Amino acid sequence: MSLLALGLNHRTAPVGVRERVAFAPEQLDTALRDLLDHGGAREAAILSTCNRTELYCGLKEADDRQVAQWLGDYHRLRAADLQPYLYQHTGPCAVRHILRVAAGLDSMVLGEPQILGQVKAAYQTANSAGTLGSLLDRLFQHTFAVAKQVRTDTRIGASPVSVAFAAVGLAKQIFADLPKRTALLIGAGDTTELVVRHLHENGIGRLVVANRTLERAHILASAFSGYAIALDEIPAHLGEADIVIAATASPGLMLTAAQARACLKQRRRRPIFMLDLAVPRDIEPAVAELNDVYLYTVDDLKDIIQENLRSRQAAAAQAEEIIDHQVEHFMGWVRARDSVASIDLLRHRAEAVRDEAVARALRQIERGKNPAEALQMLADALTNKLIHPPCAGLREAAARGDAEMLNLIKSLYRLNDGNSR
């Protein structure tokens, strides 16, 4: 059975194409079974995220065209229209692909950790649907182990490379005890939402969201156990905040130096971390001149992100070396697995020869033949039967001048080790 990884992602297809071949979670169970029934797969798993849709299959036959045809048919797309955006990998290339995906090496943000959770979810869905066989089950288990090794042995995920990650990473450098801290977020757009999410995941103590539209602030804050305030309430709550992050689209200032100065008196000189992600700026630049205020801008984060990206790229090179080794390790298991059928056949034939020889010897003894003579004839018969195939192979290879086959048979029967026994 051959292994196939087929799909498209953010590098090969625009969002307009990706959304047309995405699978909703409630579709996956039915889609997986349909892929086995009509897509030429013996076993299958589907990974579907905003950035990629990928099918991992153990094929009934070596022809992978049926899987691509199924993907188009399932989403009511012509295969010819879909083909330019698809990639497909087989055998060790398929193994390498899933290992790189799970390790974050194929992600839009290099080294991002969320993709591993999505790969695990794809495995669990396929397992629940009953569409995993021994090949894919072993592949996914191997993938999880390798992804963990990459995270442990390299710094692929140690340095943030998005604005939201970098913002929270910088806050953690200044305040190691985030669960004891209060964060005030000014604005409620996409960037703020990501920052809030990362702060929440890192255990921030309290979250306050201020926005021009109070309803929008309430929706965002309530999703992460925070509370919402209007923009004109900022001065009243500023003294509570250890962390202030501003990211609005307003043309004017959200926080002035005078407000910050008053806040510091209220806080009795306890330090405050401020991050201005807005362009134009939300926080008056003069705030940076105040003692006990650590003010950073989006440009400061860009420098951090670029440095971290270089660090991740170096770690990615290490990760690729790990994956190279682990691809070969998995393929070794596949080759050993594929040999099982041949080993079983060889054992079955040997047992048949043995049973025939033993039966003949027993008949001879029953007819009065000396047991010692019958035993000797049994040993001779077994010897002749068992060495006949390699002896015939050696003669034929020698006649053809096939040195490779001669050496293979000699190696298989260990005829080159100088030991006659």
- Which DSSP state fits 289? G
Biggest CA-to-CA distance, the chain: 118
Alpha-helix residue ranges (DSSP H) falling in 214-297:
214-222, 234-237, 257-267
Please report, in angstroms and rounded to a whole number, the separation of the first and last CA atoms in the chain. 38
Alpha helices in 184-297 (DSSP H): 190-201, 214-222, 234-237, 257-267
**Distance in angstroms (rounded) separating the CA atoms of residues 138 and 330:** 9
Neighbours of 369 (CB within 10 A): 14
Q: Are 311 and 155 in contact (CB under 8 A)?
A: yes
- Say which of 50, 57, 93, 263 is annotated catalytic: 50
Is 391 an active-site residue?
no
Tokens 């006659």 -> residue? 420
CB within 8 Å of 103: residues ≥ 6 apart: 111, 116, 146, 147, 150, 151, 156, 319, 323
In the beta sheet, which residues pair with residue 43?
Answer: 58
CA–CA separation, 216 vs 192, rounded Å? 12
Catalogue the active-site residues: 50
